[in-house]
Chain A
């Protein structure tokens, strides 16, 4: 099994009011160094695949089909240890 992590972010041209609220909130708490923030979403999947290239390709198709709305978002896929996502699966799991 292979884990994939899909990070979805609002496109740069898209206003991100949640990010702006985070900036205001942090600055109100005294974190004056905060200049900008963007808020996205992370989806982690455990795939019934063994080949890393297959897993990446499958995840890209899932982004196109459902996970990312390319009108307003972009997605980035990375491989992760499946056992870090769900206990009992992947390389770190005990039988």
Chain B
């Protein structure tokens, strides 16, 4: 039985949505909510850091969550190659924790933007996107005031060169992100962060079920028994589900 921990920080507000989406796509009982005070995530197959406003966005978004005891366990798991997905505030936390490069800043237009936007999958070479053909456009919800991805040019060049831009905005750039980047992965590729909310798009009645593909990707990854993306020959990159 696959076990995915959804981290709950004070101020997280998408934790139940993420858990429900995981259970709906991967089977009931998949998700376990893990309180921020947990110090161990042993036996967990994957980790989701959900959206919300951890610690009220005090100081900087995600800045205080990085000191939560559970983040030590997340760091250890990430180092072992466990797939980690940070969604929205989870992405901000991973950047502040140094597990992903860059930072998320106030949207260039200053508005909180709640919308559904086309997002192109730029890389299938992560545990969260391996079931999606590169270039495929997904319809995913966004809901953030601070989603403008920023890194200096050298880092941006490196991310593009190393195929570490995982998703980018395919239509209008909704927040002014550098190079329309909506999500990136770590150098080891198992840690992914993105501003769009795949957990809010896993059934047709939600407006889109494209987000389910990320969780289907995780299923493929775990079934393959390895997060090593070098051998994808046996995988079916249908992009359909």
Which A residues lie at the B interface, using CB under 8 A?
10, 13-15, 17-18, 21, 66-67, 69, 71-72
Contacts and interface: CB of A to CB of B under 8 A. Distances in A.
B63 interface: yes
Given A69-B60, A71-B102, A72-B103, A17 B109 contact: yes
Interface string B145-178: 0001011100000000000000000000000100
Contacts of A18: 106, 110
Contacts of B68: none
Contact of B63 (A10, A13, A15, A66): A66
Interface size class on chain B is: 10 to 19
A13 B60 CA distance: 19
Nearest to B151: A71
A56 to B, nearest CB: 21
A67 B151 CA distance: 18
A39 to B, nearest CB: 9
Interface in B85-125: 95-96, 101-103, 105-110
Contact of A71 (B59, B108, B150): B150
A15 B176 contact: yes
14 contacts: A10-B105, A17-B107, A17-B108, A17-B109, A18-B106, A21-B110, A66-B59, A66-B63, A67-B59, A71-B101, A71-B151, A71-B152, A72-B103, A72-B150
Contacts of B60: 69
B57 to A, nearest CB: 13
A14 B95 CA distance: 17
Nearest to B176: A15
A8 to B, nearest CB: 9
Given A18-B110, A71-B95, A71-B152, 12 more contacts: A15-B108, A17-B107, A18-B106, A66-B63, A67-B59, A69-B60, A69-B63, A69-B96, A69-B103, A71-B101, A71-B103, A72-B103
Contacts of A10: 105
Nearest to B67: A66
A72 B60 CA distance: 11
B105 A14 contact: yes
A91 B59 CA distance: 28
Nearest to A13: B152
Nearest to B62: A69
